[in-house]
Every structure is written in C-alpha cells, then in structure tokens.
Chain A
C-alpha cells in the first residue's frame, strides 16, 4: 500500500510542477499562444517526462558501489542499458552514413531516406548472419566441448571467480558459455531460417496453386487450413511434438528434424492464406487472363505471372513469419521440447541459466547470463520488425 501512496504523491507533485511550470513559462514568454492554450493535461505530461528524465540522469550518475562496498546492481543494469542504446543508435547512424556514400547508386539512394531504426535493424540482421555463418571460426571453443572448470563465473577475472580463457564463464558441466552463445546463433537462427523457407515453399506453392486453379482444390485446401488455424499454433506444435518425441525415441537429432517439419507445416497455413489472397488479386488481372489464353503451362503462370507481382507482400511476410517461427522455436526449446542437446541454442540456455537471476544483488554480471541469451532472441526479432516496418511503409508510400 505504501507503494501506491508513494506513486500517488509523486503524481500529485508532477501535477503541481506542471501547473507551476506552465505559469512560469506563460510569464516568461509574455503569454505566447503555445503556453497560453496549453491544457493542464499536456503540462502534466511534460512534468512527468521531465521528472522521469531527471530520475534517469540521477540513477545513471549514482556510484555503482555503495560505501559498504556492495554493488548497486540496479544502477549497473541501467548504465548498461543506456550505453547499449547509445551504441546501437550510433552504430545505426554510422551504418547509414556509410551506406549513403559507399556502394552502387541504387543502394545509396535506398539509404538516403532510411529511418535510423531501419538502418539499425539491417545492421543487426547482417551481424547475426555473419556470426551464424562463421560461428566455428568466431567461437573460442566447440559447442559441446566439456572442460574440467565448471561453474566459472563471467568476467574473466580470477579474483572474482572468473577465468580469462572463458570470458562469459562455464556452465554446470563445464561448457564455455561464450562459444555456446555464438553457436546458438548458428543453430537457433539457422533452424528458424530453414523452417521459414520450408513454410514459404509449402504455403506459397499451395496458395498460388489454389488461386490459379480454383475449384475443388481451392475449397479443400482452404477449409483444411481453416481447421488447422483454429488451433493456437504453440498448442498445436506442443501436441505434435509429443507425438514426434515418441516417434523419434532416443534419436535426439531426429526430434529436431521433426520440429522443423511440424513448425513449417503449422506456419505454412498462415503463408497459404496470404499467398492465396495476394494471388487471387493477380489472377483476375488482364495480363494473367491473356497468358492463360495464350495456352501457357501452369508452371509459367505461377513463376512468371503470379510470383513477380506478389514479391513485395511476400517479402514483408517472410520477415514477420521468420520472427514468429524464431519465437516459437525459442519457446519450444525453452519449454524443453525444441532443439535438443548437444546443439547449443538460446532457448535452452535461458532455461538452464534462469536460476542465476537470483544472484543479481551481489553478482550483477552472473545475473545477465540468462538475459544475454534471451536478449539475443529479442534483439533479432526487434531488428527484423524494424526492417519490415520500414519496408511496408516504403511500399505503401510508393503506391499512394
């Protein structure tokens, strides 16, 4: 209850501050219309924003260690978050600057009117791709390599229980966490990418076929997809994984293959819906009718007439679908039924390291371990979302 009372008091203070601030601004600016017509609610909002900013600055510059020598974890986390955000913004800005002056004309033009979020998103996606492709070269150790040093704390400082050979420490059975994090990019992102491609191949082909041929094929496929979509996707995936785990038995790698197929089929239903809807608009066009009357084959119709005209929405859908697939796989792995050991993946890492979060008060670095793996997942989905947002805005802007 004291928390609620405290919050109410702060809000009341903000209201008073807003009223006072508006009054002062009115006097100082000679009753400029901007301040004269400002509703109290807006002044209140500005006061809250100012208070939040002041609080943020105050927290940021607090000493990270108390007089008694205990680390202030909250302050440390806040500093890392602010610095991370600043670095991200700077990296996105520099990347956009570089894109504007380097490379071919077309890409330079593309970078010219790109928002900062999109530049950051593209940079992040590229970084992930590089890490995933060259994981074997980047990682200091193998993903399943087991060392004698177990439970090494992160930081690499022997005085605090670290080890310079393992910058992020090792887990309960002595695997290097940095290597597993890097290999996680390869496994988690790679598997999600393969799954999305498979889902697009399945859903796109069937969707185009249903639209181009129509008739009973369209009816059967559409009704089937309707039924499959009536079951929430994560629930359906869990049900099918139960059965797949019985089929796979003790062959763990087989279970991962089954998971790819299961998620691909479930997500293909969503792709089917979009592909069919987009293709439906194309097959009623004159050029399609002309091609059909020319006697072109089905393959020509789909690949030469429908596909090129459906590219933009399908590309945006690919980005969003990848996010969903990626999150589903991460969730399944987190629940313990997704990607199986010895493959390193982020979802499983979060689950295995989750308990470390309770050490935040005395060892902030250790507590970041589960958040690092979970944050790696979050960062990629946010980045893809930024890029897709920009692409959609651009394509809709061109159409207007």
Chain B
C-alpha cells in the first residue's frame, strides 16, 4: 500500500498547489478594480480624509505582494474580512457590532451543503438505478425515452427546469412551497419539504450525465467473457448486472458521480436565486450585484476549493478502485 499512499499524498499536494494559485488569481483579479476599495466603499461623495482613513484601516498602502500574504494568512486563521456593506453601515450609523464575512457565510454554507446532500441522496440512487435499467433494456422504448428525456433536461437552462417544476408542483398542485423559507431551528421534516423543489431541480440537471455514464459503463462490461459465462450458466439478467457487472463498473460511476457533484457547485447559484434559498450561492450573487468585494472574494474561494476538492476526490477514488492505476508502471 505505500505506493497508493504516495499517489494520494501527491494528488493532495497538487490540489493544495492549485488552490494556492487559484487564490492568487482571485486576489489579482480583485485588485484589478479601478480606483481602490476605499473609493468603492465610501462611494463618490467621500472626502479625501475618509478615503485615507479607510485605506490605512484596510492596509491598502502596503505593496501588493505583502497584502496578498496578509490576506492569505488571515484566511488560514478563518478571518475572511468584513463585508463592505457592513463597513458602510457602521460608518453611517456609528459603532455597533460588525458581522464578519466568516459569520455571514458559515450558516449559508451549511444550508448549501444540506441542499447538495439532499440532491445527492435523490440523484445518485436514481441515476444508477435508471442507468442499470437502461443498460438492461437497451434499445427498447424505455431506453430511448429516458435518453431523450435526460438529454433534454441536461441541455435546458436551470431556471427553465426550476420554473416548470414550480408551475406543476407548487402553483397548479400545491404540494411543495415555491420559496424555500429556511430558518434556524427548523424541524427536519419541514426543512426537507422546503428544500425539495431546489433539490429536484438540481437532480434533473445532474441526472442525465450520471445515468448515461452508468449505462455506458455497464454496456461496455456486458460484452466481456465473464458476463457471457455468467449468462450461460443460467444467472438471471438482473443478477448478472448486480453481481458481475456493477462492481466492475463502480470506478467510472464513482468518478462521474464526484464530477457531477462538482458541477452542482455551479448549478447551485442559479437554483438558489430562483427559489430564494438562503445558501452561499445567493449570497454570492447579491454580493456581485452590490460589488461587495470581500464577500465575492470569499465565496469565490470557497466555491473553487469545493470544486477542486471534489475533483480531487474523483481522482483519488478512481485510482483506489482501479488496480491498474494503483500500480503505475
């Protein structure tokens, strides 16, 4: 096993390096803003003295490299800075408790993870199940209908699917709420109900690719001799799939599941806006609209980190589940 451990450590180091470079990209991009933060915070009518004060408070007078490492060090200790909206509020109202970006993001991050979790819990079994069925009955009407249906759902924009679901499940048949009103201390059942429509929308988005990959992986395997052997000795078709094909198809399936969960990270932004779901995606879009740079920066970094992490997981899992990759020549 030391070989495997080495590979995993290598991948982890590579992931960390990528994240480091990504943080540089984000920092440089944000510093390409015209004028400076102080001007952005205080708006057009700011006096030069006020601008100078804010500049000093934010440390904007230091050179770029030094500021970058200061920012990085702060992030590593969990300090993501203070949102401009909060700073502005404080300077106009005076005093008061400042909400840091970290304390703004934390509860919303938990909400988003909950949404992603519910989506995965629905989408993964459904996709694998449908994929197995489509492989089992390939070429039939069932196969073709699921194919066209999933292809259409994956190529539609997220908001189209969201509004169609709202139309049928919330407006015409009031089964589920069309706005996800999530608050602290909500009972799990109510919370699940409020999360259901966004989760279903996301499911439709990621379902197609997972299903198609499962189907392709299993069909690929069905041509191999040991499947033929199992079939000839009289094993039922379902058992051939579950006992002989599925375990060997696990590697590509796990890989595509992890990659699609990474795709969820992007899909979550639009879906959260449609359903007013209090997650990190909505916070991000709101911050983009009012140009609240610290929040934008922090959200961007979190999204990128999650994305890199999931891709890394896909990579490592596919190495672990494939002996040929486990012992590279």
Question: Which residues of A are at the interface with B, using a C-beta cutoff of 8 A?
Answer: 3, 39, 41-42, 45, 49, 73-74, 77, 117, 226-228, 230-236, 238-243, 245-247, 323, 327, 330-331, 334-337, 347, 350, 354, 357-358, 360-361, 367, 370-371, 374-375, 377-378, 381-382, 384-386, 389
**Can you list 21 pairs linking A and B with CB atoms under 8 Å apart?**
A39-B237, A226-B18, A230-B21, A231-B300, A232-B262, A232-B266, A232-B303, A235-B265, A235-B266, A238-B269, A238-B284, A239-B297, A242-B287, A243-B32, A246-B291, A334-B157, A337-B285, A358-B178, A360-B171, A367-B167, A374-B157
Q: Would you list the 10 A-B pairs with minimal beta carbon distance, nearest first?
A: A374-B160, A378-B156, A381-B155, A232-B266, A235-B303, A234-B266, A360-B171, A385-B155, A231-B304, A378-B160
Residues of B within 8 A of A389 (CB): 151
- What secondary structure prevails in chain A residues at the interface with B? helix
The residue that B30 contacts in the complex, of A236, A243, A361, with Cβ under 8 A, is A243
Rounded to whole Å, the gap between the CB of A16 and the closest CB of chain B is: 20
Q: Is the CB of A239 within 8 A of B300?
A: yes
Q: Is the CB of A246 within 8 A of B166?
A: no
In the complex, B69 has a CB within 8 A of chain A: no
Rounded to whole Å, the gap between the CB of B210 and the closest CB of chain A is: 17
Q: Is the CB of A238 within 8 A of B157?
A: no
- What secondary structure prevails in chain B residues at the interface with A? helix
CA distance A336 to B171 in the complex (A): 25
CA distance A39 to B239 in the complex (A): 12
Give 1 or 0 for each of B145-185: 1 = CB within 8 Å of chain A CB: 00010011001111110011011100111010010000000
Q: Is the CB of A234 within 8 A of B167?
A: no
Question: Which residues of B are at the interface with A, using a C-beta cutoff of 8 A?
Answer: 18-19, 21-22, 25-26, 29-30, 32-35, 40, 137, 141-142, 148, 151-152, 155-160, 163-164, 166-168, 171-173, 175, 178, 236-238, 262, 265-266, 269-270, 273-274, 284-285, 287-289, 291, 293, 296-297, 299-300, 303-304, 307-308, 311
Q: Is the CB of B291 within 8 A of A360?
A: no
| With A77-B167, A239-B296, A337-B288: A45-B142 Cβ-Cβ less than 8 Å | yes
The residue that A227 contacts in the complex, of B25, B164, B236, B297, with Cβ under 8 A, is B25
Q: Is the CB of B32 within 8 A of A330?
A: no
Q: Is the CB of B236 within 8 A of A357?
A: no
The residue that B167 contacts in the complex, of A246, A360, A378, with Cβ under 8 A, is A360
Residues of A within 8 A of B288 (CB): 238-239, 241-242, 335, 337
CA distance A301 to B300 in the complex (A): 41
- Closest B-chain residue to A337, C-beta based? B288
- Closest A-chain residue to B32, C-beta based? A243
Residues of B within 8 A of A246 (CB): 33-35, 40, 291
Residues of A within 8 A of B284 (CB): 235, 238
Q: Is the CB of B269 within 8 A of A374?
A: no
Q: Is the CB of A337 within 8 A of B167?
A: no
Rounded to whole Å, the gap between the CB of B39 and the closest CB of chain A is: 10
Q: Is the CB of A235 within 8 A of B300?
A: yes
| With A238-B269, A374-B159: A231-B34 Cβ-Cβ less than 8 Å | no
| With A234-B269, A245-B291: A350-B155 Cβ-Cβ less than 8 Å | no
